[in-house]
Amino acid sequence: MTRAVRVVCHEVLVVFVVLQSLNLKRRKAGILPSLEDLLFYTIAEGQEKIPAHKFTTALKATGLRTGDPRLKECMEMLKVTLKTTSDGALDRHLFKKCVQSNIVLLTQAFRKKFVIPDFQSFSAHIDELYENAKNMSGGQVADYIPQLARFSPDLWAVALCTVDGQRHTVGDTKVPFCLQSCVKPLKYAIAVHDHGTEYVHRFIGKEPSGLRFNKLFLNEDDKPHNPMVNAGAIVCTSLIKVMNFMNKLAGNEYVGFSNATFQSERESGDRNFAIGYYLKEKKCFPEGTDMTSILDFYFQLCSIEVTCESASVMAATLANGGFCPITGERVLSPESVRNTLSLMHSCGMYDFSGQFAFHVGLPAKSGVAGGILLVVPNVMGIMCWSPPLDKLGNSVRGIQFCTDLVSLCNFHNYDNLRHFAKKLDPRREGGDQRVKSVINLLFAAYTGDVSALRRFALSSMDMEQRDYDSRTALHVAAAEGHAEVVRFLLEACKVNPVPKDRWGNTPMDEAVHFGHHDVVTILRDYHNQYTHQEGSTAKKNEENLDGML
């Protein structure tokens, strides 16, 4: 069997093994080990028993928290079981007893089936971005009310929650602060969830205003421009009734209320009162609305307290189509979430919205307390919080973090996921994509398809990628005697001419072994030349590649 075909076979084998592993009937019949046993062997690493702390440490490395509501049964059983042991360790039997009621989630976690499979290394990247922004000193803490003015400018926190409920936090993530304008997308989502898009947009537009968020101004139809500016948010407030949505959005994590902030907002809220009266004059509210009590409700919603951690779950519920990742509860309709993300994308960052959409390309909403609620749709929700604001009212450190995140990872809405830009793709799909890319590359080398290889090189594919056996495209092309492919890989792509596969063979060994003399000559000539010009720079390679393509 040729090597390239073996690569494909290997993939088929993986799929086969996965299918096998789902054969629960056979497991139950005792023919195959149970999922619980597999999990035990994975974590035990050859030992007879698993110390409880080893289990919880391994669990945390997947991104799951021991306090995750989805693991309640497991954790309760663990507590009870540990009391019966003398050494705080679990044998296979006890382990099974503890994990069996949450085995599906645990198996997913340990088989790296979550959206961010390598959660530890992703978290390490987040910590670096956090540290980078921490050094920033610019900006002003809002001081129009004492409750905001009292915050230290040094406070800085980032918390994230993925759509699979993986959590990571860094910095002051447990300090309560008010959502302020970050509540605007949430109440808009609730309004659409309750009444539908058509009804809500009878009262509010969908267009960026191009004006400051608290401007006393309506669009041509005498409606507020959108629900992310104050006028729109005040009207939106008149369309919603309940606050218990907030708890559900946050998966029952911390949601509080700052009465002092509410009182101060009301006392200092002349502009909002002016907007309220203007909206009333222009008949912007549904019939029968009591404008002043709506304004009170508006100030109360601004005064809802969260922590960075709990707000990251709210953002994750938006990232997850309205389902709270850690409770599994459907909180908002998919339609309301889609609308909300669209409007956050175009209008969420005050007068920086267009630039943010351009540079970061993700839906976000910031607030005067220094929060930025950021959503990576279908991947994760993030809350950044740091009180110092830039001139446009956005958190200085928050903006830096969001920008850095998108420079590092291909999370921008218009980053191309197929022809990989040279950015990190921490998603699961990324892993699959890489496997596919090795197969495609080696298959093209096997069939001698130079034009496919040109396309791969143009889309920044790593032409030195190795398969399971550490074989490269050059090994395969040399073994198959495809002289043109060998030349292209060496001269245009400047791949390493002497990679070793897992048996220690180089492409030259392959060409000799299979008697491809033309390939032997090309490799030898190139090798001589290569050893003479070791200083060749990446830039030179690129120029060369341009020429050849």
Nearer of residues 148 and 406 to ligand GLU, judged by Cβ: 148
* Integer Cα distance of 296 and 237 in angstroms: 10
Q: Percent helix, strand and coil across the chain, each rounded to 5?
A: 55, 10, 40
Q: Which is nearer to ligand GLU, 76 or 267 (CB)?
A: 267
The nearer residue to ligand GLU, 179 or 483, going by C-beta atoms, is 179
Residue 117 or 371: the one with the smaller Cβ distance to ligand GLU is 371
Helix pair 334-347, 308-319: axis angle to 10 deg: 110
What are the strands of the beta sheet with 380-385, ordered from one edge?
A: 167-171, 157-162, 380-385, 371-376, 364-366
Strands 371-376 and 50-51: unpaired
CA diameter of the chain: 90
Pairing of strands 255-257, 304-306: antiparallel
Least distance CB 368 / ligand GLU (angstroms): 3
- Comparing CB distances to ligand GLU, the nearer of 95 and 177 is 177
CB of 144 to ligand GLU, least distance (A): 8
Q: Which is nearer to ligand GLU, 204 or 474 (CB)?
A: 204
Closest separation in Å from C-beta 234 to ligand GLU: 8
Torsion, Cα 542 544 548 549, to 10 degrees, reads 10
Write down the least CB distance from residue 372 to ligand GLU, Å.
11
Q: Determine contact, residues 433/416, Cβ cutoff 8 Å.
A: no
Minimum distance from residue 255 beta carbon to ligand GLU (Å): 17
Shortest distance (Å) from residue 302 CB to ligand GLU = 4
Q: Which is nearer to ligand GLU, 95 or 350 (CB)?
A: 350
d(CA 88, CA 86): 6
512/353 Cα distance (integer angstroms): 61
Q: How far apart are CA 158 and CA 167, in angstroms?
A: 11
Least distance (Å) between residue 180 CB and ligand GLU:
3
Residues of this chain that bind ligand GLU (CB under 6 A): 180-181, 213-214, 230, 265, 272, 302, 367-368
Nearer to ligand GLU among residue 40 and residue 213 (C-beta): 213
Dihedral sign (CA 69, 71, 73, 78)? negative
Q: How far is the CB of 297 from ligand GLU (least distance, A)?
A: 12
